[in-house]
Amino acid sequence: MSLQSNDPSQQGAQAAVKFLPLLIGYFALSVPSGLSLYWLTNNVLSSAQQVWLQKLGGAKNPVQEYIDKLAREESTNVGKYEPADKSEVLPKAGKPQPGQVPKPSEPQRGGRFKKLMEEESRRKQLVEQAKQTEEASVDSFAIDGKQDFDSSAPDTKDEQVRLFC
C-alpha cells in the first residue's frame, strides 16, 4: 500500500513511526494510570476531530471558498468592461485618492505617540521653568544679603526646638 523508498531519511522516518507506539506504550505503563487514561482519551478524541474536520466537511476552507467565488465572478463578468489601466481597479493603499477625504474618526498613524511626546516636552519645559525661577530667587536672595526675620521665624514649637538644638 505504501511506496517503498530507497531514501535513507524516509526509511528512518518510517522506522520511527513504527517504533513510536511501542515507546508510548512503555511510557504509559511507567506512569500513573490517570495519565495513561488521559493520553489515550486525548489521542482518540484528537484523531476523531481531525477526521471530522478534514474528511467529513466539518471545516470549510476559506481560501478555497474565495477562489471559487472569484472563479464564479470571472465567469459571469466575461465580456464586460475592463479598464485598461490597472490603477483604476485597485486604489493605492498608502495615499488617498484625490476624491477621497480621510475619515476624521480614524486616528492618524502614530498620533497617540506624538501626543504623549508633546505632553512630555511640555512637562519638561514646566520643570525647567520652575528650576530657573527657583535659581533666580536664590540668586536674588544672595545678592540682597538681607533676610526678613519676621517671615523666616519658626511657626511652631517643633521648628523652634530643631533650630536651637
Q: What share of the chain in percent tops pLDDT 90?
A: 15
**pLDDT surpasses 70 at 144:** no
Mean pLDDT of the chain: 76
pTM of the model as a whole:
0.28
In the prediction, which pLDDT does 128 show? Answer: 94
Confidence bin at 162 (pLDDT 50/70/90): low
How does DSSP classify residue 31? S
Nine cell digits for residue 103? 475619515
**DSSP letter for each residue of 83-144:** -SSGGGTS--SSS--TT----TTSPPTTHHHHHHHHHHHHHHHHHHHHHHHHHHHHHHHHHH
Determine contact, residues 13/6, Cβ cutoff 8 Å: no
**pLDDT surpasses 50 at 1:** no
In the prediction, which pLDDT does 74 show? Answer: 84
Per-residue pLDDT reduced to its tens digit, 87-99 = 545 555 555 565 5
Per-residue pLDDT reduced to its tens digit, 97-115 = 655 555 555 557 788 888 8
In the prediction, which pLDDT does 48 show? Answer: 92
Cα–Cα distances (Å) from 50 to 61, 125, 156, in that order, read 14, 63, 82
Per-residue pLDDT reduced to its tens digit, 20-57 = 888 888 888 888 888 888 988 999 999 999 888 877 77
Higher pLDDT, 97 or 7: 7
In the prediction, which pLDDT does 64 show? Answer: 80
